[in-house]
Structure 1
């Protein structure tokens, strides 16, 4: 009863590295004369521009220099082109050109600048067309390229009092003139204390005493954090409540505008007051969640829980802070995080599919699956066995022995994730990776796929059968949970990938993953992969780990980040590790295992002697096992615990499990004696074949449909092979069950097993319409 990563295929040394070095050495190192802009000061890094050529065809080069006695690993260069100049032909670096603005990342071989050295002879070079002239606004790692101190913004002018209430003072001012860098924000100070900050030219100071005079000044900060000079001070006196004792009337007609899974737009009609309305306070239940100025009759609340009913009211406040009666109460239910009221389809894409399976992200597009899926679970990310953090940046396969307790220690595949340069034929948009980019491989293809299908969400799946060994350790203490969760969010949500052969870097994968999927197999149980750490405390610690993920994901702000989990079908494993009364406070979706109920296993360590159903909807009346597994039994366990059906999907196998030398009897070999796992699609995966491979390998296999248990199986005849799998018939029947139970939808392990034209995916999609 498991799903997990298969051993990584060995790969040959990357040709990309060899080609890059040959190209670098073969470059003609011409003497650079002509226009030069020298560095003036000794910052950590400086950059000197040189050019050769003239007229409308010339070459520009930036030489990065390290002025310190310590090597600097990593640099980023940006500059603005002169008017009328366009560039192409980038060498020794990759560039993103947005109009006149150019941002340069180094190649992997010149990313580190040695102490008191330069990037010569491999400095970033471009070919230019247009009038010869030096770029402007040059920055190296965000600092001025010439190393000189930044000129800060000038002091804001025209500071004036915009409004006062009993406890607030609102100020406005003219925009400050920028220095070397654009103005990013403003700060309001009382004495030396910052009392308000704003990204605009107005701000409100709160928590003041009534009828009291205060003096304020304003300063600007630039995008590098440099503070400017203070404005001339201004004095403001807060309102005296004794001057107004009559509260405003209640706002009316509170109503909802746009609603998403985590935001609600509210609108209302204005209140009135004998003097003036100063502001509106928005409440969710009894908690004030927003304040808007009097001239604004709308607000959008963010960070709300999906699929949750929220009660809102609005009160008006006058300048004396007299509060009005509440408006009408408005109940708004946020949309579901997945499904949006319909039925969701979740599909696993396996990292290693690009090897023996030759299944690429592009195949999700060409098969039609991408248009039908709602969520892609990218499998799998591992846990660092030493640091107990999310692990990437390595390419290390698992051992070939599935019973090795250390099989997955330190394993990972950064090459497939973001290092491999895919060809144009393997790419979603038909454009090959350049081999030098900071993001390549599956991650870059997922980014392209999301651009083509904006509805798609992608989550990173942590763990799986082989990579769950250290979950118990990372969940054991509050400190360990916080450390682990932060590392995963930094790596996959913020996109800070470890350096790998020139790929990776801070933020390079930002925006690819929309959340986290937890595949801990299995908390509180010794029945996971051999050697997995577990303890009776796993159940409580699993809940705490899920809560920590939810808290840190929500703290990011912005769009709601998904938090899902692969959860067991076995009631005993549910009881041992999953507190159903608590975890769904935090989880958006639980993908219930709907397969691997029976199987021989690649090493015949499981059930090698009896052929049986691996994905039956109902318990088969002929089963020889007491309290046997079924999808319905699993689902009912969750529903009986009070879990909302709209948080549950059931798993569909796009593969079969098979036995060999199966005796005749029963219903065409069903539950009959066998002699181990049948030959698999891959040598190291005996007993397992993807659906397409299975039906292609055994075209004469007789397929049977068990209408009582709702299960499909195939038999090649007495003493032959017996396979349990899902086909169009069983998927259609299970889709009817999903609808009848009001479940969220279906989950697929895993997408590469389908036919090239997506037969199984199409069937599931049609069944859930």
Structure 2
């Protein structure tokens, strides 16, 4: 059912007088303390390419080996070991499904610390892009003796392109992120440099590498960039059209995290400024107005919900647009819950006639999320607007038998 998978995330590091892609093993301090001096500098090389998968969990049915087969010319070569971990499983998945493309996503909410600095000058942009291509396209993975994994070229042919998930040019992300007053122009220039260097290596090995971005969907985020310009370098734009509202707004009012359309009755909508743009249609219209062709727009949908507890019933009895006391309890963190858990949670499910999204209320706890029914409405919208397609964050939030993904796949045929 999938055409592409984004593997998230890769990080950037201060290195060689600039900023470079790399893969290290380090717990992420910013996950628990965004004010830590080294917040945003973590990495998970173990999961990426060092962990051994057994035969019973491997895509191919063949487990990872400690060393190369004895007939492999790399056998016994110092500083090189076989590819393992998630990278090897992705490579096996591509072998099983030859039309599937895998893209490395760089940055994300936690690892966008250095984009503002790395994009600031032509020399720094060239250094960053060259390093990312070296690691993820050429597959030159740092060799790790402890797991006997990695080495020059070991990770080649895993990734078919690069996705830049800078959250966000101009600010609004983590407090430790570098923000430059020239982020708007530098973002465009950074993407042009990625396109240039990806095309150069593609010409060498006869491939065309994909270049995409994930962007903040609010009109305020889009206004901090030049969509008509930067989109010229891209294959498509993944709009993160979710997280419009959530438990970080501690006391509410409850509101939709991923509405297809804005609801003029929402207190947030009534507040004006950019709030009326906080919906899928608002993001799409902003990109189209900015000069992005429909063929480069991909709508994001969530496989999770956001919610509050201590919610009053309100005049309609459904808790919508009501005050709350705190974020709802979640399995991994408060205020957020996977669809696979929400679908069987207590409460009554409602579909909003204007926003075209769903919500659930049990009298105290209120969740905003998409059901198969409202997911289909979004796919209908993608087709009606002649957009490129849709993507979801993230795969493991789906229900049994990939039920939301099936709605997406069927709805886009």
TM-score, length-scaled by structure 1: 0.49
Over 3 Å counting, the alpha-carbon distance change for 1:402 and 1:701 in structure 2 is farther
Secondary structure at 2:310 match in 1: strand
Going from structure 1 to structure 2, the CA distance change for 1:666 and 1:741 (only over 3 Å counts) comes to farther
> How many angstroms apart in 2 are the aligned matches of 1:435 and 1:727?
44
Whole-angstrom CA distance in 2 between matches of 1:400 and 1:561: 32
Q: Report the alpha carbon displacement of residue 433 of structure 1 after superposing the two structures with TM.
A: 1.3
Q: 2:396 maps to what in 1?
A: 752
> Is the counterpart of residue 411 in structure 1 residue 26 in structure 2?
no
> Which of 336, 341, 346 pairs up with 1:688?
336
- Could you tell me whether the CA contact under 8 Å between 1:598 and 1:607 is conserved in 2? no
1:407 and 1:703 mapped to 2: Cα distance?
43
Alpha-carbon distance in structure 2 between the residues aligned to 1:457 and 1:568 = 23
- Is the Cα–Cα contact under 8 Å of residues 33 and 39 in structure 2 kept in the other structure? no
Provide the secondary structure at the position in 2 that maps to 1:564.
strand
- 1:531-610 aligned at under 5 Å gives the runs 531-556=176-201, 557=203, 558-576=206-224, 578-601=225-248, 606-610=249-253
* Pairing 1:647–2:296 present: yes
CA spacing shift, 1:566–1:612, aligned 2, 3 Å: same
Q: Which residue does 2:116 correspond to in 1?
A: 472
**SS of residue paired to 2:155:** coil
Q: Match for residue 707 of structure 1?
A: 353
Alignment partner, residue 420 of structure 1: 51
Partner SS for 1:544: helix
1:405 touches 1:529 (CA, 8 Å); kept in 2?
no
SS at match of 1:507: coil
Question: Aligned partners of 2:33 and 2:362: how far apart in 1?
Answer: 28
1:263-316 CA deviation, whole Å, 9 max, x = no partner?
xxxxxxxxxxxxxxxxxxxxxxxxxxxxxxxxxxxxxxxxxxxxxxxxxxxxxx
Cα deviations by residue, 1:376-417 (Å, 9 ceiling, x for unpaired): 000000111344100203243334425436564320000100
Corresponding residue of 1:171: none
- Residue 434 in 1 paired to residue 79 in 2? no
**Matches for 1:93-104 after TM superposition, within 5 Å:** none
**Aligned CA distance change for structure 1 residues 661 and 540 (closer, same or farther; 3 Å):** same
8 Å CA contact 1:621–1:709 kept in 2: the answer is no
1:674 aligns with 2:324: yes
> Which has the larger helix fraction?
2
Which residues of 2 match residues 10-21 of structure 1 at below 5 A? none
Partner residue, 2:135: 491
Q: Which has the higher strand share?
A: 1
Deviations 1:686-714 (A, max 9, x none): 11111102224x1x321110021101101
d(CA) in 2 for partners of 1:677, 1:435: 46
- Are 1:741 and 2:391 an aligned pair? no
Matched, 1:378 2:7: yes
Distance in 2 separating the partners of 1:404 and 1:608:
24
1:39-79 deviation digits (Å, cap 9, x = unpaired)? xxxxxxxxxxxxxxxxxxxxxxxxxxxxxxxxxxxxxxxxx
User: For 1:392, which of 15, 19, 23 is the aligned residue?
Assistant: 23
Q: Distance in 1 between matches of 2:28 and 2:64?
A: 24
Change (3 A) 1:655 1:559: same
Residue pair 1:702, 1:714 contacting (<8 A) in 2 also = yes
Distance 1:608 1:461 in 2: 33
What is the match of residue 658 of structure 1? 307
Q: CA deviation at 1:435?
A: 3.7
**Post-superposition offset of 1:607:** 4.1
Give the Cα separation in 1 of the matches to 2:293 and 2:161: 21
Confirm whether residue 624 of structure 1 aligns to residue 267 of structure 2: yes
User: Which structure has the larger Rg over C-alpha atoms?
Assistant: 1
Instruction: Determine the C-alpha separation between the residues in 1 that align with 2:99 and 2:55.
Output: 24
Query: Is there any run of 5+ residues in structure 1 with no aligned partner, and where?
Result: 1-371
1:547 Cα shift? 0.4
Task: Verify: 1:530 aligned to 2:186, yes or no.
Answer: no
Please tell me the root mean square deviation across aligned C-alpha atoms, in Å: 1.5
Deviations 1:538-577 (A, max 9, x none): 011111100000000000112210000001211121111x
**1:687-742 deviations in whole A, cap 9, x for unaligned?**
1111102224x1x321110021101101111xx11001111011100111101111
TM-score scaled by structure 2? 0.90
SS at match of 2:226: coil
Q: Would the aligned equivalents of 1:407 and 1:466 in 2 still touch at CA under 8 Å?
A: no
> For the Cα contact (< 8 Å) 1:654–1:753, is it kept in 2?
yes
- Judged with a 3 Å threshold, the aligned counterparts in structure 2 of structure 1 residues 428 and 741 are, in CA distance, closer, same or farther, namely same
Establish whether residue 519 from structure 1 lines up as the match of residue 165 from structure 2. Answer: yes
2:96 is the counterpart of 1:446: no
Q: Partners of 1:695 and 1:538 in 2: how far apart?
A: 41
Q: Using the alignment, how far apart are the partners of 1:398 and 1:666 within structure 2?
A: 44
Shift of 1:676: 1.2
For 2:40 and 2:386, the matched residues in 1 are separated by 40
C-alpha displacement at 1:621, in angstroms?
2.4
Supply the distance in 1 between the matched residues of 2:260 and 2:3 (Cα, whole angstroms).
23
Cα distance change on mapping 1:532 and 1:524 into 2, 3 Å: same
Q: Residues 666 and 506 of structure 1: is their aligned pair in 2 closer, same or farther, counting only changes over 3 Å?
A: farther
- Say if 1:395 and 1:630 are closer, same or farther in 2 by CA, change over 3 A: same
